[in-house]
Amino acid sequence: MVRETEVTPRDLVAPLFVIHGRDVRNPVGSMPGVFQLSVDRVVAEARELWSVGVPSVILFGIPETKDAVGTPAFDDGGPVARAVRAIKDGVPDMVVMTDVCLCEYTDHGHCGLLVKDRHGHTHVDNDPTLDVLAREALCHARAGADVVAPSDMMDGRVGAIRRALDGEGFADVALLSYAVKYASGFYGPFRDAAGSTPSFGDRRAYQMDPANQREAIREALLDVEEGADMLMVKPALPYLDVLARVRDAVDLPLAAYNVSGEYAMIKAAAANGWLDEARVVRETLTAIKRAGADLILTYFAKDFARSI
Ligand code: PBG
């Protein structure tokens, strides 16, 4: 009667990895229970999630080809666009979110376009990347996505995507910004799943320093100003202090991403018999909600929903 926080399946968003082909279900080695799924299998998974009360999925694409400028990211026949259409067709009330980023689509694995500076060093080129991200978001919106979620961390992308959506008649498509995204070692297993490990360097020039908390508030407020409808903090567990501060600073719906490494840690410990999986999953999701999350993106979505 006096419990303050309760996690329900309604709070959860299940991340799904979409690959080309038919009847494909490739296990992801570092994420037991997670698979790369072809579009037909994604629809079946969405139906199952819906039936246990999980109302939303977020889609990540694994394209057949990659290039330097991420062209496959805005292919209307690509895995994400096709999966959005198929889910909206088969499970119409499901809230379909799409991850908007270039790292899965560039051959170098960075989240933006590259440029060489006058000293011969290669950098991610912020401003020209915005146009490609906007084209990707439009592609997802055309397919019927309810929510687009940019995770690239380029400056100004929320405004650029919002303008593009509004300009093309997609004012109703919501924008969930990965506003506060740290340069984290906890994304390791995801990069296996999505094939998006950078071929050189790392993402510290565009993702945030784990040591910074005030910067999180600046990032969040900038995205509110640029037109975000919802914000995200990522990863979740090591950043609950940040989540709580962002919760206090903004009144938009707030999401937290319980990322691949957080999933893998629990799975590995449970497989060894060192942790009671169901118990720590419940505790983890409750802690994330208690800290201030309205929505939780988690690979545990289906298992948790089934367990209650
Ligand atoms: C794409 C993206 C990443 C994740 C979500 N979107 C990886 C990254 O930034 O390297 C990580 C999700 C996870 O670890 O579960 N930029």
| pLDDT 10s digits, 287-297 | 999 999 999 99
- Please give the average per-residue pLDDT across 233-239, as a whole number: 98
The atom number, within ligand 1, closest to the CA of 260 reads: 15
pLDDT at 192: 87
pLDDT for 195 equals: 87
Kindly indicate the confidence band of residue 265, based on its pLDDT and cuts at 50, 70 and 90: very high
The 3 state secondary structure assigned to the chain is CCCCCCCCHHHEEEEEEEECCCCCEEECCCCCCCEEECHHHHHHHHHHHHHCCCCEEEEEEECCCCECCCHHHHCCCCHHHHHHHHHHHHCCCCEEEEEECCCCCECCCCCCCEEECCCCCEEECHHHHHHHHHHHHHHHHHHCCCEEEECCCCCCHHHHHHHHHHHCCCCCCEEEEEEEEECCHHHHHHHHHHCCCCCCCCCCCCCECCCCCHHHHHHHHHHHHHCCCEEEEECCHHHHHHHHHHHHHCCCCEEEEECHHHHHHHHHHHHCCCCCHHHHHHHHHHHHHHHCCCEEEECCHHHHHHHC
Candidates 187, 259, 266: which one to mutate for ligand 1, based on the most atoms within 8 Å of Cβ? 187
Cα(277) to centroid(ligand 1), Å: 23
Token pair recorded at residue 194:
């999505």
CA of 58 to the centre of ligand 1 (A): 12
- What 3 state SS string does 267-301 have? HHHHHCCCCCHHHHHHHHHHHHHHHCCCEEEECCH
- Best substitution site from 36, 182, 190, 262 to test ligand 1's pocket, by max atoms within 8 Å of Cβ? 190
Q: What is the dihedral of CA 305, 45, 299, 171, to 10 degrees?
A: -100
Q: What is the mean pLDDT of the chain?
A: 97
The pLDDT tens digits of the residues spanning 189-218 come to: 999 899 889 999 999 999 999 999 999 999
Q: Which domains does the chain have, with CATH numbers?
A: 9-307 (3.20.20.70)
What percent of the chain has pLDDT above 70? 100
Dist. CA 181–CA 149, nearest whole Å: 12
Q: Which residues line ligand 1 (CB under 6 A)?
A: 99, 101, 103, 111, 151, 187, 190-191, 203, 259-260
Is 181 annotated in the active site?
Answer: yes
For ligand 1, atom 2: residue with the closest CA: 151
Distance 135 CA to ligand 1 centre (A): 20
Q: Does pTM top 0.85 for this prediction?
A: yes
Residue 179 has pLDDT above 90, yes or no: yes
CA angle 144, 147, 127 (to 5 degrees): 105
β-strands 35-37, 25-27 pairing: antiparallel
Task: Kindly give the number of the ligand 1 atom that is closest to the alpha carbon of 189.
Answer: 14
Mutate to test the pocket of ligand 1, among 18, 58, 132, 151 (most ligand atoms within 8 A of CB): 151
Structure tokens at 46: 């969405």
Instruction: Respond yes or no: is residue 234 known to be catalytic.
Output: yes
Q: What's the confidence (pLDDT) of residue 159?
A: 98
Q: How far is the CA of 1 from the centre of ligand 1 (A)?
A: 38
Residue 90 has pLDDT above 90, yes or no: yes
Instruction: Please choose, from the candidates 164, 151, 64, 176, the residue with its C-alpha nearest in 3D space to the C-alpha of residue 101.
Output: 151
Nearest CA to ligand 1 atom 14: 187
Calculate how far, in angstroms, residue 23's C-alpha sits from the geometric centre of ligand 1. 25
Residue 140 has a pLDDT of 98
Ligand 1 centroid to residue 184 C-alpha, Å: 9
